[in-house]
Amino acid sequence: MKRRNRLIRTSSRDTGKQKARELRQWLASNPIIPTFQGQPNQTAIGRQLGITRSTWSSNPELQIIWNEIKESFGKESAPIDHYVERSSEEKNRQQIQELIVENQQMKQELLLTKAKLEMLEQDAAALEWLTLTGRYIPRLPPNYSDE
């Protein structure tokens, strides 16, 4: 008779304990806690460590650790370093606002430049007209020679 290779399965209780150990080790490494709307993000942490939503809710040890994370996150002198990351939508809104302001500044600058150009063109046309009619004789530089 042939023996079939069987995978040794761990019980869900052992898996839960292992995940709790991994979470404690991860927290001991002083990680950047992912956040969502200013609160620790359980889903993102679960993705990083391979902890499913059902494991979070059914494992009492994970629930205790999660409550510790939430409590330490709320304290100002929390032992866990955390980084509040803005959502990409919020970043996009701010970037759009900055671009709108920059666009308005550029439009104002363009209008000023156009006005200056129009004045210079009018001055040049007036100067040309005065020169052609003989009413204006341009000054020549002091070292100019007509040789």
Higher local confidence (pLDDT), 1 or 67: 67
50-94 pLDDT per residue, tens: 888 888 888 889 889 888 888 887 664 444 444 444 567 778 888
Kindly calculate the radius of gyration of the chain based on its CA atoms and give it in whole angstroms. 37
**What is d(CA 34, CA 52) in angstroms, rounded to the nearest whole number?**
16
118-147 pLDDT per residue, tens: 999 998 888 888 888 888 777 777 776 666
**Burial code of 102-128, b = ≥16 C-beta within 10 A, e = fewer?**
eeeeeeeeeeeeeeeeeeeeeeeeeee
93-114 pLDDT per residue, tens: 889 999 999 999 999 999 999 9
Q: Model's pTM, two decimal places?
A: 0.45
Tokens 């929390």 sit on residue: 78
Do 103 and 110 touch, CB atoms closer than 8 A? no
